[in-house]
Structure 1
């Protein structure tokens, strides 16, 4: 037996239905003017169902942050001594971007709503603070016993959040166009180059000219003699992500100009 009737469309999960109904009403009536009773009525569920998923109306605007924060905390906890700590927290921050990038249209819509409602902006800041505390807690454990370990942990955590949010908000302001991942990678790369262990890596200058045969000089070479023979070559070997100022400093030292 055959049938030409199409299968019924599956209803969205109750949680998703509540989020969709809430944002429809927020756009039509405004956030402040929308009540929880109106949201559940549009979603076709009971009031008790709303509070089963969301403690407050504010929480329906940020439905995935609790899950993302839990995933981030687990990711950090799974790290060990082999993981460079600054790179680890930068990778953890990328998980937040992944959450936003799952649904760009919704993320842009939420960003616009948050900008208009001071209460939501304050709520968002409290969420950001929780992310920052998670990053700082991990770094405090990794830097325990080091000089200024707690200070360093808190500063790096704040820098990671600031860099990530700078790139994320630029993407949201552009209506979700462009490569958000590349923008966040660039921003977090600045943090890694500034605070990562590789930033302390030494820069080594290797002369490739003939080795000296006489005694080593005891003072700086006179002007005009510092470069040695005209065909001498000095090769500077450094980490790719070494700060430019450190490369210049070592270069000048190798040439006797420090």
Structure 2
């Protein structure tokens, strides 16, 4: 990646961070500090707002429940993914499109490795959070499947294909993400993701057409009667090639 392309991405991340309300970030920081010190079940919303120095009303302005403070950016990411897929329309290879949509979720985790690793460890210890996370993952999968159903509408078993491909993309994403999280966020998340979704692309994506200079030459065989006039032979060749 060139430095010129990396700079806009850094600017976008900075703008996104600046757009997040400071109170929201303070609540998330307070919650995770308490979760690590006391445990998730032993921490109440009152404890979180007391440490953050705000009232309960402020907490519920940003988070519907205590579970939501553990996954503060998923709603934004789901909205970004849905908007990305909507902007694609009918352009591009559909399997590649949903793979790139899933990359947005990976990027959300990679924005803050230490936070993502903390959440991963916490979620593994709390069954209720694992169940909540599964519900979030299901919503991502549904967004991918809905897009693919529209693209595969004219195909035989199009709905089935859409659901299978969406599930495969999510499975590939989760495999790469968990591998990265188990490395404490120190590995190359993007490379792991590319490797994982490569299996999805090869299994379900449309093969790219080879360059024109690498395509095999067409061979046409025409059977004609012995002694047929040359114009008749030429006519039969043109008919075989589909030319008028």
Give the alignment's TM-score, normalised by structure 2: 0.77
Residue in structure 2 matching 1:39, options 33, 48, 62: 48
Aligned to 2:242: none
Aligned to 1:139: 148
Residue in structure 2 matching 1:60, options 55, 69, 74: 69
Residue in structure 1 matching 2:58, options 49, 54, 60: 49
Residue in structure 2 matching 1:126, options 135, 139, 157: 135
SS in structure 1 opposite 2:109? Answer: helix
Whether 2:203 is the aligned partner of 1:183: answer no
Partners in 1 of 2:105 and 2:68 — Cα distance? 17
Whether 2:103 is the aligned partner of 1:94: answer yes
Aligned to 2:159: 150
TM-fit CA distance, 1:205: 8.8
Greater alpha carbon shift after TM alignment, 77-86 vs 132-141: 77-86
Aligned to 2:92: 83
Give the alignment's TM-score, normalised by structure 1: 0.73
Q: How many residues are aligned here? A: 196
TM-fit CA distance, 1:198: 1.2
Q: Please say if residues 86 and 195 of structure 1, whose CA atoms lie closer than 8 Å, have aligned partners that are also in contact.
A: yes
SS in structure 1 opposite 2:207? Answer: helix
Whether 2:78 is the aligned partner of 1:69: answer yes
Unaligned runs of 5+ in 2: 1-20, 224-244
Partners in 2 of 1:200 and 1:58 — Cα distance? 47
Unaligned runs of 5+ in 1: 1-11, 216-258
Is the alpha carbon distance of 1:66 and 1:173 closer, same or farther for their aligned partners in structure 2, counting shifts above 3 Å? same
Q: Deviations over 1:210-258 (max 9, x none)?
A: x9xxx9xxxxxxxxxxxxxxxxxxxxxxxxxxxxxxxxxxxxxxxxxxx
